[in-house]
Amino acid sequence: MEAIKMTLSEKIEQELERDLQKAMEDKDFNLLVKRLKISKDLAKKNNTSLQDTCSELKNCSNCQGLFMCKNRVSGHVLYPNVDNDSIKFIYTPCKWQKMQDKALKEKEDSLNEIKIARMKDIDINDKNRLKVIKWLKEYYDNYEKVNTLKGLYLHGSFGSGKTFLIAALLNELEVKKNAQIEIVYFPELLRNMKEDFSLVEDKLRYLQTVDILLLDDIGAESVTVWGRDEILGTILQYRMNNKLSTFFTSNLTIEELEKHLALTKNSEDKVKARRIVERIKQLTDDLELVSVNRRK
C-alpha cells in the first residue's frame, strides 16, 4: 500500500515537472520566474497562478486604457508577492487604474475647494486668465434671475483652473443673486446613473431645469450611445429650447469634442455628435484657457 502511495506521489511530481518545463518554454513566463527569484519547487506548486499572472501581464502590454481591460478584475493584475518560501497572489492596480484613482482623488480635493470658491478668490495676476475673467465679470453684472444669457464653453490645458473660475462665478450668483446653480462632474454623473437607473428620471429633470448648470470635464467620459443621446442630448435640448444658462469645462476644443462624441465614427454617429456640438454652440460662448497646472 505504501509503495502505491509513493508511486502516485511520484507520478504527480512528474506531471508538475512536465507542466513547469512546458510553461518555461514561454519566454515571458521564464522571465517572470527569474524576476521573482523563486525556487523551482515553488514555481511548480504555483504554476497555474503564475501562468494567469503572465497572461494578464500580456493583456496589459498592449492596453490603451481601462475601457480595453481584458483581465479578470478590471484595472488590476493578479501579481505574486514572494514571502520566504510562499507566494501570495494579490490584485494590483495597473497604471491606468492608478491614473484614474489619482485623477479622482485630485477631483475630490478640487471639489472641496470649488464648493467655497468666490470671485474674490480668483487670481487676477495671470494674464492668460484676463479674457476669461472679463467674460465672467460681464456675465455677473448682466445676470438677472430670469435670464437668457449664454453660458461658457471653457476649454484648455489640464489643471489650469477652468472649473474653479466658473464655480467662483456660480457661487457668487447663488449667494448674491439667489441663482439656483448645479455643478456636475460629468463622467461621475453618468457612472452614478448607470449604477442606479431609478435616479435617472428625477436627476435628468433637475439638470434640465436648474437656473444655471455647469457640466464639468465633458469629454473625459467613456462615450456610449445612451450617455450621449439619452442623457447629454436630452439635457441640452431642453436647456437650449428654454434658453437656460449652461456652462462646460473640457480639456478638448469643441472640434475635438465632436470627434470624441462620434463614438464608432460611422456616418450616423457623426451626425449625432455634430447635433450635440451644435446645441453646445447655441448655449455658449467658446473661450480657451491655457495656463500653468495649478494642481501641482
Beta strand segments in the chain, E: 76-83, 86-93, 151-156, 181-185, 212-216, 245-250, 284-289
pLDDT band at 194 (very low <50, low <70, confident <90, very high): confident
* Of 61, 93, 125, the domain-final residue: 93
Which residue segment(s) compose the domain that 172 sits in?
A: 103-289
Q: Is residue 186 part of a domain?
A: yes
Residues 205 and 142 grouped into a single domain: yes
With CA atoms as reference, report the closest residue to 171 among 244, 211, 114, 224.
114
Q: 77 with 134, same domain?
A: no
The answer to whether residues 36 and 149 belong to one domain is no
Would you say residue 280 has pLDDT above 90? Answer: yes
The answer as to whether 296 is a domain residue is no
Residues 149 and 191 in one domain: yes
pLDDT at 246: 97
Mean pLDDT, the chain, integer: 89
Asked if the structure places residue 79 within a domain, the reply is yes
Same domain, yes or no, for 197 and 144? yes
Same domain as 249, residue 126: yes
What domain count does the chain have? 2
The answer to whether 254 and 155 are in contact (CB under 8 A) is: yes
Instruction: Report if residue 295 sits inside a domain.
Output: no
Q: If you average pLDDT over residues 216-236, what whole number do you get?
A: 93
Residues 152 and 46 in one domain: no
Q: Is residue 98 part of a domain?
A: no
Q: Please, which pLDDT band fits residue 293 given cuts at 50, 70 and 90? A: low
Strands 86-93 and 212-216, by their bridges, are: unpaired
pLDDT at 296: 55
Quickly state the pLDDT bin for 266 (edges 50, 70, 90): confident
Q: pTM value?
A: 0.65
Is the predicted pLDDT of residue 273 greater than 80, yes or no? yes
Window from 6-20, 35-49, 138-152, 173-187 with minimum mean pLDDT? 6-20
The CB density around residue 221, as the number of other CB atoms within 10 Å, is 20
Q: Do residue 148 and residue 257 come from a single domain? A: yes
Q: Give me the mean pLDDT over the 107-126 stretch.
A: 83
Do 86 and 172 fall within a single domain?
Answer: no
